[in-house]
Amino acid sequence: MSVLSVVLPAYNEELMIAKTCRVLRDVLGEAGISYELVLVDDGSKDSTWKEIQKAGEKDACILGVHFSRNFGKEAAIFAGLAHARGDVVAVMDCDLQHPPETLKEMYRLWREGYQVIEGVKKSRGKESILHKECAGFFYGIMSKATGVNMRNTSDFKMMDRQVVESILSMPERNMFFRATSSWVGYRTAFVEFEVQEREAGQSKWSSWSLIKYAFTNIVAFTTLPLQFVTVGGVICFLLSLLLIIYSLIQYFTGHAVEGYTTIVMVMLLLGSAVMVSLGIIGYYIAKIYEEVKRRPRYIISKIVRGGRENRSCLYEQNKEPDSSFLQK
């Protein structure tokens, strides 16, 4: 009998934990799917952890992982994948915006032999125009980088054990889960779902955190911005050639005194182009610096399984992924 692990990252979700666990138990129990729930408390400031402990006392199939501070959703998903023991692992938000019924359809597709089942949003829900445009730009770059249309992708997906192991074996710290799951390949199916309204609590994403998230993920996944620098350089060079020819003609025809405005414009334009380019390169260097420090992706402070807390072997569970394959 195969077991489905459901990974649920939770940050300040005290109002949702009990309900989400209950709904998942009902939906999966009814469908006759054996499951475990892996709830990762991403350093919440409210009583999310207490709620997870309480839920764990009621249901032995609940595993709770508590971070020492907020490490972000990607880290929480990664920790969940690392602790999941199922033959197939689903990842979903713990605010019930990803409809649990869809899990049944995903599970069916997994039984048919698909190894990655991606949840695709039918529509993007209510958003401001600015938000839509920015998201469009971000997903445009990401789609180019992955070769997959990322426009309506989500973090709602189900993966076979083999896929999970492939993702866990990747050593990078900054990982964009949504793109990584398509990057690894495997036999993939898509399931559409309608994003539900959040029932309680609030979204953790401000516009600023979304912008930061977009930049981090673009840099984590593609070197395209560095190519912008090269292309920008080539364009500047071509324009300079034109200007040089023009200036020489002016010089030889004896009209070369004026041109202050042109010089100021060219200097300012080139100066800003150089600075923006340096900024882009600097950002990549900063990310390389973060990666080479090889700090852990997250730090776990507590684990509960079936209501019992376990502090031993925490370090063991948070150790580096096995890198012996690199020597082969």
Of the pair 24, 76, the CB lying nearest ligand UDP is at: 76
Residue identified by tokens 């979304």 is 210
Q: Residue 27, Cα to own-chain centre: how many angstroms?
A: 27
Phi and psi (nearest 5°) for 90? -110, 150
Q: In the bound complex, what is the minimum distance in angstroms from residue 203's beta carbon to Mg ion?
A: 6
| Residue 20 binds to Mg ion (criterion: CB under 5 A) | no
Of the pair 76, 219, the CB lying nearest ligand UDP is at: 76
Q: In the bound complex, what is the minimum distance in angstroms from residue 118's beta carbon to ligand UDP?
A: 17
Q: What is the rounded CA–CA span in Å between residue 86 and residue 88?
A: 5
User: If we measure between CA atoms, which residue out of 47, 60, 45 comes closest to residue 16?
Assistant: 47
Of the pair 203, 223, the CB lying nearest Mg ion is at: 203
Of the pair 9, 56, the CB lying nearest ligand UDP is at: 9
C-alpha distance from residue 81 to each of 7, 14, 169 (Å): 7, 22, 11
Q: Which of residues 138-197 bind Mg ion (CB under 5 A)?
A: none
Of the pair 77, 184, the CB lying nearest ligand UDP is at: 77
- Record the tokens describing residue 3, joined without a space: 């077991």
| Residue 97 binds to Mg ion (criterion: CB under 5 A) | yes
Binding site residues, ligand UDP, CB under 6 A: 9-11, 13, 42, 70, 72-73, 76, 93-95, 97, 203-205
User: If we measure between CA atoms, which residue out of 295, 309, 293 comes closest to residue 41?
Assistant: 309
Q: In the bound complex, what is the minimum distance in angstroms from residue 99's beta carbon to Mg ion?
A: 12
| Residue 95 binds to Mg ion (criterion: CB under 5 A) | yes
Q: In the bound complex, what is the minimum distance in angstroms from residue 64's beta carbon to ligand UDP?
A: 13
Q: Give the one entry of Mg ion, ligand UDP, none that residue 11 binds, where binding means its C-beta sits below a cut-off of 5 to 8 angstroms depending on kind.
A: ligand UDP
Q: What is the rounded CA–CA span in Å between residue 328 and residue 320?
A: 18
Please state at what angle helix 224-252 crosses helix 129-146, rounded to 10 degrees. 100
| Residue 13 binds to Mg ion (criterion: CB under 5 A) | no
- Record the tokens describing residue 95, joined without a space: 């605010």
Of the pair 94, 109, the CB lying nearest ligand UDP is at: 94
The residue count of the chain comes to 328
Provide the binding-site residues for Mg ion, judged by CB under 5 A.
93, 95, 97
